[in-house]
Amino acid sequence: MELRRNRNSVFQIGYHIVWCVKYRKQVLTGPLADDLKELLLQIAQENNFSIEQMEIMPDHVHLFITATPNHLIASMIKALKGVSARFLFKKHPELKKQLWGGHLWNPSYYVGTVGHISEEIVKKYIESQRTGD
């Protein structure tokens, strides 16, 4: 990950994001998975963040996203999951038969931050900044 800059900050922000299909149904295959990949890239571009790596598994999605400090993780995930669900249900109406209740995605998700330094190094650096010790 490269250092990036905007008007008032220098940053390196990356997220590993995972979310699952409702009921862990294995529906993300074939043309549906291809449509989802295209759509997620489009959503990211429209919202000014980048999907650096993506893997669509039959029952869940893995993304590595880079963003600016102005991006809220919850807002990015809401856009990705919300827009993709609406589009896929419209383009693939057979999904509604497999997923009762009208929801494509499980409401929860995993997010982990990714950086070039470890938690231990950050803590040691901050501790070393004390004056008078």
Structure tokens at 58: 């039959």
Vertex 57, ends 101 and 29: CA angle to 5°?
A: 70
Which residue do the tokens 């409702």 mark?
22
Question: Would you name the residues annotated as active-site residues?
Answer: 125
Q: How far apart are CA 103 and CA 95, in angstroms?
A: 10
